[in-house]
Amino acid sequence: MNDPRFSETPLNGCSGCRRDFASLRAFDAHRVGEHSLDFPEHEAGRRCLDVEEMPEWLKDSRGRWTTQTLKARADRFSQHHQGAALESLDATEAA
Ligand SMILES: [Zn+2]
């Protein structure tokens, strides 16, 4: 995908606010309101959160938005995976 609205190919790019998100979960977390209602015609309509409304949010090393909670979870996950890869490597060497 080559979208000129983004400087590099977005992972989970939002066409509403032009932000890119580290995960689909992070993307979903910045969208609020009723799917069936249009914003700003309806105040409760579907829209993107403003940065001021997202106190827990931060940009990861690739400039993608995520939350502290989601980032901590992702870091634990990748550490777990690195550990698993090393374990299986050890098992291969031992065999
Ligand atoms: Zn958005």
Q: What is the pLDDT of residue 86?
A: 54
Q: Which residues of the chain have pLDDT under 50?
A: 94
- The answer to whether position 58 is within a domain reads yes
Whether residue 60 is contained in a domain is answered as yes
Separation of 75 CA from ligand 1 center, angstroms?
24
Q: What pLDDT is stored for residue 78 in this prediction?
A: 82
Between the CA of 25 and the centroid of ligand 1 the distance, in Å, is 13
What are the residue ranges of helices labelled H in the chain?
A: 24-29, 68-94
Q: How many domains does the chain have?
A: 1
Residue 10, domain member (yes or no): no
Q: How many angstroms separate the alpha carbon of residue 50 from the centre of ligand 1? A: 9
> 50, 31 in Cβ contact below 8 A?
no
Would you state the pLDDT for residue 14? 95
Q: How far is the CA of 79 from the centre of ligand 1 (A)?
A: 29
∠ Cα 69 75 77 (to 5°): 105
Report how far ligand 1's centroid is from the alpha carbon of 29 (Å): 10
Distance 43 CA to ligand 1 centre (A): 16
pTM exceeds 0.85 for this model = no
pLDDT confidence of residue 82: 73
- pLDDT of res. 6: 65
Residue 9 lies in a domain: no
Instruction: Name the β-bridge partners of 20.
Output: 13
Residue 31 has phi, psi (to 5 degrees) of: -105, 125
Domain range holding 90? 24-94
In the prediction, which pLDDT does 92 show? 53
